[in-house]
Chain A
Amino acid sequence: MKSYEQINARIESGKAVVLTAEEIIDYAERKGLEEAAREVDVVTTATFGAMCSSGCFLNFGHSRPRMRITQTWIDGVPAYSGVAAVDAYLGATELRQGDPANTYYPGEFRHGGGHVIEKLVAGQTLELHGLSYGTDDYPRREVRTTFSIKDLNQAIMVNPRNCYQNYNVAVNGSERPIYTYLGCLKPKMANLSYSSAGQLSPLLNDPLYRTIGIGTKVWLAGAQGHVYAEGTQHAPSCERGPNDVPTEGAGTLALTADMKKMHPRFVRGASLRGYGVSLALGVGIPIPILNPQILKATTVRDRDILAPVIDYSGDYPNRTGQVLARLSYEELKRGEVTLLGRTVESSSMSSYAMAREIAALLADEIRRGDFLLSRPLAALPVQQGFQGMKIREDRP
């Protein structure tokens, strides 16, 4: 009905009709799917939450004399240096060297890779310490200096697993508090924690990956980046509701973008007590309304998206596969749900308020003609499972 080229032409002429995945719900109900699909060019989706697989490749430029850095610390946080001369990869969950971790349980994890990435994007000054064994062509053995993102040739975020399509709801069925990546869970299922933007979340608005694929342009923390691969653990073959929406994790996206163009508001180091450090990121993905079928998927509502409730004190660590219940995001967002006959307080590790802000920002950028859409180069797999680790007892 519409092509990518037609939509981009409308964006360039400043005439594109763009709504957020929240606004489209009422709009399509008022106009009907067919008419809404004719009128609307783009629906913007977004999410903001802890995305542990985030990280970045940095190039520091060459020192004089040259040095092939083999060990790197940035603000005391180790960065992987088994790459070319003055490149390094810094991962969001890396702890500062010497962090007591959970030695004094629950650990505080105040500073790590995610915090360093936040400081970088915010333009702050960081400390670089590098060591090397020295070679004939790279004789220098140690470097200590300070730098900011402006001093780097490249700072490219490369996140192999972002934007989980759906996610677990965590509870704690044990008798003591537990500390997880979904926060502190009180004993006896007194509270639960979820992590998804629900009706605003990118892959919940395109559940069968009809428009989001490899090469799709995305808004990553304010920078224009793209999907470079299926995300790790991308597992689309799972239970789905009548609207094709998965009722568990399912799809993921591998994203990349230039950190020099990011906005610090959407790149936030996270300290999760008793668990570790991470990075919370804002992602926005535009969905081109090519036909009524694609539009229909974007009208998904919180009440139609179910998430599995899992006991993180036993069933999750032991991978029993037990699901206690399924709750909709409409229920979860109320702040109080009924679970197994009792009232349980609910809260989120992701931010719906920030997701709304991002969906609106991206919609504005597209309306202004500053953000064009791209046709995927390849589709994401629609059928694919997810296997566990085989621990072989008969190893030699």
Chain B
Amino acid sequence: MSTRRLLLYFPRSETEKPIVYHLVKDYDLVINIFRAKVTPEEYGYLVLDVTGSEENIARGVEFVRTLNVQVDEAQKGVRWDRERCTMCTNCIPHCPTKALHVSERATMEVAFAGELCVECLSCLENCPYGACSSIF
């Protein structure tokens, strides 16, 4: 069993198909949705973790792609711009998963562990410098 974070982007009007239902039922995947915007007749997106066997995840991703949905495994919804970040640490108490954290106490440098990010967007609200942004 493994878990992968996927970003599903629906260009337009491909949102009527019950994609999550098929991923669960046909490919035996456990789905955990972090963010979603699915509006009929418009573009939409889903950010989700899929847990299952490697083979089933690959087949599930293939199925989703056949529906003209773009699947991006690398892309995160939340971006942290190291150059814009002043490393003030103001965001850190507001990040529930410690994705944003102080990597080294002696230098007080801030780092972003994207794999821990649950895209709650607290950092966007709390960063004075706009270092965090959302692609959506």
Query: What is the interface of chain A, defined by CB distance below 8 A to chain B?
Result: 48-50, 183-184, 186, 190-191, 193, 268-273, 278, 280, 333-335, 345-354, 356
**Contact in complex: A271, B128 (CB < 8 Å):** yes
26 A-B residue pairings within 8 Å (CB atoms): A49-B88, A183-B90, A183-B126, A193-B90, A268-B86, A269-B129, A270-B128, A270-B129, A280-B128, A335-B92, A335-B102, A335-B105, A345-B93, A347-B90, A347-B92, A347-B93, A348-B88, A348-B89, A349-B90, A351-B89, A352-B87, A352-B107, A352-B108, A353-B108, A353-B109, A356-B108
A353 CA to B92 CA, complexed, in Å: 15
Residue B11 lies at the interface, judged by CB distance under 8 Å to chain A: no
Task: List B15-47 residues whose CB lies under 8 Å from chain A.
Answer: none
Report A-chain residues with C-beta under 8 Å of the C-beta of B126: 183-184, 273
**Contact in complex: A273, B105 (CB < 8 Å):** no
**Contact in complex: B87, A354 (CB < 8 Å):** yes
Given contacts A270-B129, A280-B128, A280-B129, contact A349 B88 (CB under 8 A): yes
Number of interface residues of B (CB under 8 A): 20
Task: List B83-136 residues whose CB lies under 8 Å from chain A.
Answer: 86-94, 102, 105, 107-110, 125-126, 128-130
**Contact in complex: B108, A351 (CB < 8 Å):** yes
Q: Which of B89, B102, B110, B130 contacts A271 (CB 8 A)?
A: B130
Expressed in whole angstroms, the minimum distance between the Cβ of B21 and any Cβ of chain A is 38
Q: Which of B94, B110, B129, B130 contacts A353 (CB 8 A)?
A: B110
Residue of B nearest to A268 (CB): B129
Given contacts A273-B125, A356-B107, contact A351 B94 (CB under 8 A): no
Given contacts A268-B129, A271-B128, A273-B126, contact A334 B105 (CB under 8 A): yes
Given contacts A280-B86, A335-B102, A351-B108, contact A345 B92 (CB under 8 A): yes
A264 CA to B88 CA, complexed, in Å: 17
Instruction: Give the residue among B93, B110, B126 with the most A Cβ atoms within 10 A.
Output: B93
Expressed in whole angstroms, the minimum distance between the Cβ of B75 and any Cβ of chain A is 25
8 closest cross-chain pairs (CB), A and B: A353-B87, A270-B128, A352-B108, A191-B93, A345-B93, A347-B89, A351-B88, A351-B86
Expressed in whole angstroms, the minimum distance between the Cβ of A127 and any Cβ of chain B is 20
Query: What is the interface of chain B, defined by CB distance below 8 A to chain A?
Result: 86-94, 102, 105, 107-110, 125-126, 128-130
Given contacts A272-B128, A334-B105, A356-B107, contact A350 B93 (CB under 8 A): no
Expressed in whole angstroms, the minimum distance between the Cβ of B113 and any Cβ of chain A is 15
Expressed in whole angstroms, the minimum distance between the Cβ of B95 and any Cβ of chain A is 10
Report A-chain residues with C-beta under 8 Å of the C-beta of B125: 184, 273
Report B-chain residues with C-beta under 8 Å of the C-beta of A50: 128
Expressed in whole angstroms, the minimum distance between the Cβ of B80 and any Cβ of chain A is 14
A272 CA to B108 CA, complexed, in Å: 21
Residue of A nearest to B84 (CB): A268
Given contacts A349-B88, A353-B110, A354-B86, contact A184 B94 (CB under 8 A): yes
Report A-chain residues with C-beta under 8 Å of the C-beta of B128: 50, 183, 270-272, 278, 280, 349
A272 CA to B127 CA, complexed, in Å: 8
Q: A334-B105, A346-B93 are in contact. List 9 more A-B contacts (CB 8 A).
A: A184-B125, A271-B130, A273-B125, A280-B86, A347-B90, A349-B88, A352-B107, A354-B86, A354-B87
A345 CA to B102 CA, complexed, in Å: 12
Report A-chain residues with C-beta under 8 Å of the C-beta of B109: 353
Residue of A nearest to B94 (CB): A184
Report A-chain residues with C-beta under 8 Å of the C-beta of B87: 351-354
**Contact in complex: A333, B93 (CB < 8 Å):** no
A273 CA to B90 CA, complexed, in Å: 12
A190 CA to B126 CA, complexed, in Å: 16
Expressed in whole angstroms, the minimum distance between the Cβ of A177 and any Cβ of chain B is 10
Report A-chain residues with C-beta under 8 Å of the C-beta of B88: 49, 280, 347-351
A49 CA to B89 CA, complexed, in Å: 11
Report B-chain residues with C-beta under 8 Å of the C-beta of A191: 93
Report A-chain residues with C-beta under 8 Å of the C-beta of B89: 335, 347-348, 351
Expressed in whole angstroms, the minimum distance between the Cβ of A48 and any Cβ of chain B is 7
Report B-chain residues with C-beta under 8 Å of the C-beta of A186: 93
Expressed in whole angstroms, the minimum distance between the Cβ of B7 and any Cβ of chain A is 26
Report B-chain residues with C-beta under 8 Å of the C-beta of A356: 107-108
Expressed in whole angstroms, the minimum distance between the Cβ of A279 and any Cβ of chain B is 10
Report B-chain residues with C-beta under 8 Å of the C-beta of A335: 89, 92, 102, 105
Report B-chain residues with C-beta under 8 Å of the C-beta of A351: 86-89, 108
Expressed in whole angstroms, the minimum distance between the Cβ of A305 and any Cβ of chain B is 15
Report B-chain residues with C-beta under 8 Å of the C-beta of A347: 88-93
Report B-chain residues with C-beta under 8 Å of the C-beta of A190: 93
